[in-house]
Amino acid sequence: MSEQVQTQRSSVGLFFTSLFLLLILSAIGGVAGWFGATTQTAYWKAEVQFEVPKVTDLGNYYSLHNTYNLLKNDLATNDLAIINSAYKEFTRNVKSPDILQHFLVQNEIVKQLAAKQNKPVSLEAQQLASSFHFNEATNTLSTTLINPNEAVTLLTDFIAFSTLQTRADLNTELITKWKVLFQQVKQLAETSTGTAQQEWTTKLNLMRSVQPLDNQLTAYRLVKSPTVPTKPEAPKDQLLWAAIGGGIGLLLGFFVVLFINRKKN
Protein backbone atom coordinates (compact mmCIF):
# COMPACT_ATOMS: atom_id res chain seq x y z
CA MET A 1 0.00 0.00 0.00
CA SER A 2 2.76 2.41 0.95
CA GLU A 3 4.56 1.53 -2.28
CA GLN A 4 1.44 2.48 -4.27
CA VAL A 5 1.16 5.80 -2.44
CA GLN A 6 4.82 6.47 -3.06
CA THR A 7 4.35 5.74 -6.77
CA GLN A 8 1.40 8.12 -6.94
CA ARG A 9 3.39 10.84 -5.19
CA SER A 10 6.26 10.27 -7.58
CA SER A 11 3.92 10.58 -10.57
CA VAL A 12 2.38 13.77 -9.21
CA GLY A 13 5.82 15.20 -8.53
CA LEU A 14 6.96 14.31 -12.01
CA PHE A 15 3.86 15.94 -13.50
CA PHE A 16 4.41 19.23 -11.67
CA THR A 17 8.13 19.15 -12.47
CA SER A 18 7.33 18.63 -16.15
CA LEU A 19 4.73 21.40 -16.09
CA PHE A 20 7.18 23.74 -14.37
CA LEU A 21 9.86 23.01 -16.96
CA LEU A 22 7.42 23.60 -19.81
CA LEU A 23 6.31 26.93 -18.36
CA ILE A 24 9.84 28.09 -17.57
CA LEU A 25 11.29 27.20 -20.97
CA SER A 26 8.29 28.68 -22.77
CA ALA A 27 8.63 31.91 -20.75
CA ILE A 28 12.37 32.07 -21.41
CA GLY A 29 11.75 31.57 -25.13
CA GLY A 30 9.08 34.26 -25.18
CA VAL A 31 11.30 36.77 -23.37
CA ALA A 32 14.21 35.93 -25.66
CA GLY A 33 12.00 36.45 -28.72
CA TRP A 34 10.66 39.74 -27.34
CA PHE A 35 14.06 41.23 -26.58
CA GLY A 36 15.60 39.64 -29.67
CA ALA A 37 13.24 41.73 -31.77
CA THR A 38 14.70 44.88 -30.20
CA THR A 39 18.11 44.05 -31.69
CA GLN A 40 16.73 44.71 -35.17
CA THR A 41 17.89 47.83 -37.01
CA ALA A 42 16.20 50.92 -35.54
CA TYR A 43 13.83 52.85 -37.80
CA TRP A 44 12.79 56.48 -37.33
CA LYS A 45 9.48 57.95 -38.46
CA ALA A 46 9.09 61.55 -39.60
CA GLU A 47 5.51 62.76 -39.79
CA VAL A 48 3.57 65.81 -40.98
CA GLN A 49 -0.11 66.62 -40.56
CA PHE A 50 -2.27 68.71 -42.89
CA GLU A 51 -5.66 70.37 -42.85
CA VAL A 52 -7.86 72.08 -45.42
CA PRO A 53 -6.38 75.48 -46.43
CA LYS A 54 -7.87 78.91 -45.80
CA VAL A 55 -8.79 81.32 -48.59
CA THR A 56 -5.61 83.30 -47.90
CA ASP A 57 -3.49 80.20 -48.55
CA LEU A 58 -4.67 80.02 -52.16
CA GLY A 59 -3.21 83.35 -53.30
CA ASN A 60 -5.13 85.00 -56.12
CA TYR A 61 -6.05 81.56 -57.48
CA TYR A 62 -9.13 81.83 -55.30
CA SER A 63 -10.24 85.24 -56.63
CA LEU A 64 -9.65 84.22 -60.26
CA HIS A 65 -11.53 80.96 -59.77
CA ASN A 66 -14.35 82.83 -58.06
CA THR A 67 -14.47 85.37 -60.91
CA TYR A 68 -14.59 82.53 -63.42
CA ASN A 69 -17.54 80.99 -61.59
CA LEU A 70 -19.39 84.32 -61.53
CA LEU A 71 -18.86 84.81 -65.26
CA LYS A 72 -20.15 81.28 -65.85
CA ASN A 73 -23.10 81.95 -63.51
CA ASP A 74 -21.96 78.92 -61.53
CA LEU A 75 -23.50 79.78 -58.17
CA ALA A 76 -23.24 76.20 -56.90
CA THR A 77 -19.43 76.38 -56.61
CA ASN A 78 -18.93 78.37 -53.40
CA ASP A 79 -15.82 79.25 -51.41
CA LEU A 80 -15.76 75.95 -49.56
CA ALA A 81 -16.01 73.99 -52.81
CA ILE A 82 -12.98 75.82 -54.25
CA ILE A 83 -10.96 75.21 -51.09
CA ASN A 84 -11.91 71.54 -50.81
CA SER A 85 -11.19 70.96 -54.49
CA ALA A 86 -7.68 72.39 -54.09
CA TYR A 87 -7.00 70.28 -51.00
CA LYS A 88 -8.32 67.17 -52.72
CA GLU A 89 -5.88 67.73 -55.59
CA PHE A 90 -3.00 68.06 -53.11
CA THR A 91 -3.85 64.85 -51.26
CA ARG A 92 -4.24 63.06 -54.59
CA ASN A 93 -0.69 64.08 -55.46
CA VAL A 94 0.88 63.03 -52.15
CA LYS A 95 -0.82 59.64 -52.51
CA SER A 96 0.17 59.16 -56.14
CA PRO A 97 2.79 56.39 -56.60
CA ASP A 98 3.87 57.92 -59.91
CA ILE A 99 4.48 61.37 -58.44
CA LEU A 100 6.33 59.88 -55.47
CA GLN A 101 8.54 57.79 -57.75
CA HIS A 102 9.20 60.81 -59.99
CA PHE A 103 10.27 62.79 -56.93
CA LEU A 104 12.48 60.07 -55.46
CA VAL A 105 14.50 59.34 -58.60
CA GLN A 106 15.48 63.03 -58.71
CA ASN A 107 16.29 63.38 -55.02
CA GLU A 108 19.96 63.67 -53.99
CA ILE A 109 19.53 61.58 -50.82
CA VAL A 110 18.11 58.72 -52.88
CA LYS A 111 20.94 59.01 -55.39
CA GLN A 112 23.53 58.87 -52.59
CA LEU A 113 21.89 55.84 -50.96
CA ALA A 114 21.76 54.06 -54.32
CA ALA A 115 25.45 54.81 -54.96
CA LYS A 116 26.48 53.47 -51.53
CA GLN A 117 24.71 50.18 -52.19
CA ASN A 118 25.68 50.06 -55.86
CA LYS A 119 22.04 49.89 -56.94
CA PRO A 120 20.10 51.62 -59.71
CA VAL A 121 18.48 54.83 -58.49
CA SER A 122 15.09 53.65 -59.76
CA LEU A 123 15.31 50.49 -57.64
CA GLU A 124 16.30 52.43 -54.52
CA ALA A 125 13.43 54.82 -55.19
CA GLN A 126 10.94 51.95 -55.42
CA GLN A 127 12.13 50.53 -52.11
CA LEU A 128 12.00 53.90 -50.36
CA ALA A 129 8.53 54.59 -51.77
CA SER A 130 7.14 51.79 -49.61
CA SER A 131 8.14 53.76 -46.50
CA PHE A 132 5.74 56.63 -47.36
CA HIS A 133 2.23 56.40 -45.95
CA PHE A 134 -0.71 58.80 -46.02
CA ASN A 135 -3.35 58.30 -43.32
CA GLU A 136 -6.76 59.42 -44.56
CA ALA A 137 -8.28 59.46 -41.08
CA THR A 138 -5.70 61.82 -39.56
CA ASN A 139 -4.47 63.60 -42.72
CA THR A 140 -0.89 62.68 -41.87
CA LEU A 141 1.96 61.80 -44.19
CA SER A 142 4.93 59.88 -42.82
CA THR A 143 8.09 58.12 -43.89
CA THR A 144 10.18 55.68 -41.87
CA LEU A 145 13.91 55.33 -42.49
CA ILE A 146 17.08 54.16 -40.76
CA ASN A 147 18.46 57.71 -40.59
CA PRO A 148 16.17 60.19 -38.74
CA ASN A 149 17.65 63.28 -40.41
CA GLU A 150 17.25 61.77 -43.87
CA ALA A 151 13.66 60.87 -43.03
CA VAL A 152 12.82 64.48 -42.16
CA THR A 153 14.67 65.91 -45.15
CA LEU A 154 13.06 63.48 -47.59
CA LEU A 155 9.59 64.15 -46.20
CA THR A 156 10.08 67.93 -46.27
CA ASP A 157 11.38 67.81 -49.84
CA PHE A 158 8.46 65.66 -50.97
CA ILE A 159 5.95 68.11 -49.48
CA ALA A 160 7.64 70.96 -51.36
CA PHE A 161 7.61 68.88 -54.56
CA SER A 162 3.92 68.02 -54.13
CA THR A 163 3.11 71.66 -53.40
CA LEU A 164 4.64 72.78 -56.70
CA GLN A 165 3.00 69.90 -58.58
CA THR A 166 -0.42 70.75 -57.15
CA ARG A 167 0.04 74.44 -57.88
CA ALA A 168 1.00 73.68 -61.48
CA ASP A 169 -1.94 71.30 -61.95
CA LEU A 170 -4.54 73.68 -60.52
CA ASN A 171 -3.16 76.75 -62.29
CA THR A 172 -3.00 74.94 -65.64
CA GLU A 173 -6.57 73.73 -65.27
CA LEU A 174 -7.85 77.20 -64.38
CA ILE A 175 -5.90 78.87 -67.21
CA THR A 176 -7.35 76.41 -69.71
CA LYS A 177 -10.88 77.06 -68.47
CA TRP A 178 -10.25 80.80 -68.52
CA LYS A 179 -9.00 80.74 -72.13
CA VAL A 180 -12.03 78.80 -73.32
CA LEU A 181 -14.41 81.15 -71.52
CA PHE A 182 -12.55 84.21 -72.81
CA GLN A 183 -13.01 83.10 -76.43
CA GLN A 184 -16.70 82.45 -75.82
CA VAL A 185 -17.26 85.86 -74.19
CA LYS A 186 -15.21 87.62 -76.89
CA GLN A 187 -17.24 86.02 -79.66
CA LEU A 188 -20.53 86.93 -77.98
CA ALA A 189 -19.35 90.52 -77.42
CA GLU A 190 -18.54 90.80 -81.12
CA THR A 191 -21.69 89.17 -82.48
CA SER A 192 -24.36 90.34 -80.05
CA THR A 193 -26.34 93.55 -80.40
CA GLY A 194 -28.01 96.06 -78.12
CA THR A 195 -28.09 95.43 -74.38
CA ALA A 196 -26.68 91.91 -74.75
CA GLN A 197 -23.62 93.26 -76.52
CA GLN A 198 -23.05 95.77 -73.74
CA GLU A 199 -23.30 93.03 -71.10
CA TRP A 200 -20.86 90.74 -72.91
CA THR A 201 -18.46 93.63 -73.53
CA THR A 202 -18.51 94.43 -69.81
CA LYS A 203 -17.65 90.81 -69.02
CA LEU A 204 -14.90 90.82 -71.63
CA ASN A 205 -13.36 93.97 -70.16
CA LEU A 206 -13.53 92.40 -66.71
CA MET A 207 -11.66 89.33 -67.93
CA ARG A 208 -9.01 91.51 -69.55
CA SER A 209 -8.50 93.52 -66.36
CA VAL A 210 -7.70 90.66 -63.97
CA GLN A 211 -4.21 90.08 -62.66
CA PRO A 212 -2.32 86.93 -63.73
CA LEU A 213 -1.89 84.07 -61.28
CA ASP A 214 0.64 84.95 -58.59
CA ASN A 215 1.92 81.37 -58.02
CA GLN A 216 1.31 81.67 -54.28
CA LEU A 217 -1.20 78.83 -54.11
CA THR A 218 -0.66 76.43 -51.22
CA ALA A 219 -3.43 73.84 -51.22
CA TYR A 220 -3.12 72.85 -47.56
CA ARG A 221 -2.30 74.21 -44.12
CA LEU A 222 0.22 72.57 -41.82
CA VAL A 223 -1.06 71.35 -38.47
CA LYS A 224 2.20 69.62 -37.56
CA SER A 225 5.49 70.32 -39.32
CA PRO A 226 8.02 67.50 -39.84
CA THR A 227 10.64 67.39 -37.08
CA VAL A 228 13.56 65.07 -36.35
CA PRO A 229 12.15 62.11 -34.34
CA THR A 230 13.60 61.69 -30.85
CA LYS A 231 12.99 57.96 -30.46
CA PRO A 232 12.88 55.04 -32.90
CA GLU A 233 9.78 53.13 -33.84
CA ALA A 234 8.90 50.01 -31.88
CA PRO A 235 10.40 46.89 -33.48
CA LYS A 236 8.16 45.31 -36.09
CA ASP A 237 6.34 42.09 -35.16
CA GLN A 238 7.67 42.11 -31.60
CA LEU A 239 4.67 40.13 -30.34
CA LEU A 240 5.11 37.65 -33.18
CA TRP A 241 8.75 37.08 -32.27
CA ALA A 242 7.77 36.65 -28.62
CA ALA A 243 5.17 34.05 -29.65
CA ILE A 244 7.72 32.25 -31.85
CA GLY A 245 10.24 32.26 -29.01
CA GLY A 246 7.61 30.97 -26.60
CA GLY A 247 6.67 28.20 -29.04
CA ILE A 248 10.30 27.15 -29.45
CA GLY A 249 10.72 27.16 -25.67
CA LEU A 250 7.59 25.04 -25.27
CA LEU A 251 8.80 22.57 -27.90
CA LEU A 252 12.19 22.36 -26.23
CA GLY A 253 10.40 21.80 -22.93
CA PHE A 254 8.55 18.80 -24.35
CA PHE A 255 11.84 17.24 -25.45
CA VAL A 256 13.37 17.86 -22.02
CA VAL A 257 10.35 16.33 -20.26
CA LEU A 258 10.40 13.29 -22.55
CA PHE A 259 14.11 12.86 -21.90
CA ILE A 260 13.62 13.06 -18.12
CA ASN A 261 10.70 10.63 -18.16
CA ARG A 262 12.58 8.16 -20.33
CA LYS A 263 15.62 8.39 -18.07
CA LYS A 264 13.54 7.71 -14.95
CA ASN A 265 11.78 4.80 -16.57
DSSP 105-155: HH-HHHHHHHHHTT--HHHHHHHHHTTEEEETTTTEEEEEESSHHHHHHHH
| Number of domains within the chain | 1
Asked if the structure places residue 19 within a domain, the reply is: no
Q: Are strands 221-224 and 44-51 parallel, antiparallel or unpaired?
A: antiparallel
Asked if the structure places residue 128 within a domain, the reply is: yes
Asked if the structure places residue 189 within a domain, the reply is: no
CATH number at residue 142: 3.30.1890.10
For the chain, the distance separating the N- and C-terminal CA atoms, rounded to the nearest angstrom, is 21
Asked if the structure places residue 182 within a domain, the reply is: no
Asked if the structure places residue 22 within a domain, the reply is: no
Per-residue pLDDT of the chain (265 residues; tens, 9 = 90+): 455 545 454 555 555 565 666 567 566 655 555 555 455 678 899 999 999 999 999 999 999 999 999 998 887 678 899 999 999 999 999 999 999 999 999 999 999 999 999 999 999 999 999 999 999 999 999 999 999 999 999 999 999 999 999 999 999 999 999 999 999 999 999 998 889 999 999 999 999 999 999 999 999 999 999 998 878 865 665 555 556 655 675 566 555 556 666 655 5
Q: Contacts by 104-107 with C-beta closer than 8 Å and gap 24+? A: 104/128, 104/129, 107/154, 107/157
Asked if the structure places residue 198 within a domain, the reply is: no
Domain limits for position 146: 41-58+69-171+212-260
Asked if the structure places residue 190 within a domain, the reply is: no
Asked if the structure places residue 12 within a domain, the reply is: no
Residue-level length of the chain: 265
**Coil vs helix vs strand at 218:** coil
